[in-house]
Structure 1
Amino acid sequence: MDPAEFLDGGAVSVSDATYAVCRTDGDHPGAFATVREAEETTVVVEECEVDAVDADAVEPGWRRLTFEMELPFELVGFLAAVATALAEVDVSVFVVSSYATDHVFVGEEDLSAAARRLEELGCEVDG
């Protein structure tokens, strides 16, 4: 499977919310995502909820781009294609994947450049 087939005509939605990525010791019930590792827990929350998170580090100002398509596990290189394309226009990414969908977070100041670049790849960016 070619990642370009999924990108061309693929729907990408842009969140209305702005998010913060937080390093913490525990869960947050309103988190968009929680990643637990042996040494730390990372939660992604809407910025309006940051004060409710007991965090020792916070990276605010992220917007979520959701690839509104089911991505099969055997698809090789999808995120590499997206990350490379965004890197070409100097956009840093933070990625969270669910079972079948990828969410790419970009800095709010980079949102326009990221959307334009994804549209150049054939994506239909909504938001």
Structure 2
Amino acid sequence: MKRLAIDVQPGEYAVARLDPGAPVPGLDAPDGLVSVTRTPAETSVICPAGLAPEGARVESGWRLLTVRGPLAFTLTGIIAALASELASAGVGLFTLSTFDTDHVLVKEGDLARAVQALRAAGHEVAE
């Protein structure tokens, strides 16, 4: 796997679940990531913890790691490699991808271990 440059983003993130068909909340995080995914079974929101939608089932305490991009769509195995490296260190993760790059969320209590594992695998991690 190619050496990746990964940035640890500031602040706490939340993963929230709304009922299917629930209105998408107006989330404004000019300096943070917000992702809304809707399926027939649920609406999921990833956002800074302070913006978690009211009435949602919320899992907070996440930290966001972003692979510096943009990444070409032809690249393969990025999430697989990161997931494997973190799994070997006993770190659970939540992933998402955008047009330009990939993101990994790890629990706050696992952040130091995640950074250590990624560095040991040869990646550059900026905190």
Q: Same fold (TM over 0.5)?
A: yes
Q: CA deviation at 1:23?
A: 0.4
The reply to whether residue 120 of structure 1 matches residue 120 of structure 2 is: yes
Which residue matches 1:110? 110
Instruction: Kindly provide the CA deviation profile for residues 19-48 of structure 1, in whole angstroms up to 9, marking residues without a partner as x.
Output: 110001231222611111112100012111
Tell me the distance in 2 between the aligned counterparts of 1:106 and 1:84: 14
The normalised TM-score by structure 1 is 0.86
Unmatched 5+ stretches in structure 1: none
Aligned residue runs from structure 1 range 50-89, under 5 A: 50=52, 53-89=53-89
TM-score where L is the length of structure 2 = 0.86
RMSD (Å), alpha carbons: 1.4
Deviation of the 1:75 alpha carbon: 1.7
Counterpart of 1:34, as a letter, is V
Q: Judge conservation of contact 1:22–1:55 (CA < 8 Å) in 2.
A: no
Structure with bigger strand share is 1
In the TM superposition, residue 55 of structure 1 has moved relative to its aligned partner by 3.6
Look up the SS of the partner of 1:39 in the other structure: coil
Compute the displacement of 1:120 (Å).
1.2
CA deviation digits over 1:4-30, x for unaligned, max 9?
A: 12xx2x221111110110001231222
Identify which range, 81-90 or 69-78, moves more after superposition: 69-78
Q: Is the 8 A contact 1:23 1:55 kept in 2?
A: no
State the identity as a percent: 35
Aligned to 1:14: 8
Secondary structure of the equivalent of 1:76? coil
The answer to whether residue 42 in structure 2 is matched with residue 48 in structure 1 is: no
Distance in structure 1 (CA, Å) of the matches to 2:101 and 2:45: 18
Query: Offset of 1:59 from its aligned partner?
Result: 0.5
Extract unaligned runs of 5+ from structure 2: 29-33
SS at the partner of 1:100? coil
Find the residue that maps to 1:26 and give its secondary structure.
coil
Runs of 4+ in 1 over 4 A off after TM superposition: none
